């Protein structure tokens, strides 16, 4: 099963991490157009169901920021979201790096 987006070719909904061999969901209602081979509405319902499953509290890590913290994550195996739970006017320094690519499988 693959999803497509307006700007990218089809990618698998379930991906296998190239280093660990573990499977993870690659889903985002905001970034997907449709699931290949499914009616658009049916595909959106499936993505909603998968997302509801993935964001259950037992699967969520929420970092409690402290001065000097550094957090690194692997986008290939998680869903991430900025929560904006830092003080108004607080300065954040963020740097994004992208490793040399591997093709999702």
User: Residue 96 domain-assigned?
Assistant: no
pLDDT mean over 12-30: 86
User: What is the distance in angstroms between the CA of the first residue and the CA of the last residue of the chain?
Assistant: 11
CA–chain centroid gap for 36, Å, is 19
Q: What domain range includes position 54?
A: 2-77
User: Residue 28 domain-assigned?
Assistant: yes
The upper half-sphere exposure of residue 5, i.e. CA atoms within 13 Å in the direction of its Cβ, equals 12
User: Residue 18 domain-assigned?
Assistant: yes
Name which residue leads in pLDDT, 4 or 51: 51
- Give residue 6's pLDDT: 56
- Give residue 95's pLDDT: 82
- Give residue 53's pLDDT: 93
Number of domains the chain contains: 1
- Give residue 7's pLDDT: 60
Burial of residue 47 (CB within 10 Å: 0-12, 13-18, 19+) is buried
pLDDT mean over 1-8: 61
User: Residue 64 domain-assigned?
Assistant: yes
User: Residue 62 domain-assigned?
Assistant: yes
User: Residue 84 domain-assigned?
Assistant: no
User: Residue 86 domain-assigned?
Assistant: no
User: Residue 8 domain-assigned?
Assistant: yes
**Banded model confidence at residue 2, pLDDT cuts 50, 70, 90:** low
Per-residue model confidence as pLDDT tens digits over 34-93: 888 899 899 889 999 999 999 999 999 988 888 888 888 888 888 877 777 777 887 777
Q: Which residues pair with 24 in a beta bridge?
A: 15
Q: Which pair of tokens denotes residue 37?
A: 């081979």
């Amino acid at each position: 099963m693959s999803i497509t987006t307006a700007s990218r070719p089809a990618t698998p909904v379930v991906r296998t991490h190239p280093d660990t061999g573990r499977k993870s969901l690659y889903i985002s209602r905001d970034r997907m157009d449709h699931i290949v081979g499914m009616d658009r509405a049916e595909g959106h319902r499936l993505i909603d169901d998968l997302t509801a499953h993935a964001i259950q509290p037992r699967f969520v890590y929420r970092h409690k920021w402290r001065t000097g913290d550094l957090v690194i994550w692997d986008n290939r195996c998680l869903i991430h979201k900025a929560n904006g739970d830092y003080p108004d006017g607080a300065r954040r320094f963020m740097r994004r790096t992208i490793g040399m690519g591997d093709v999702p499988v």
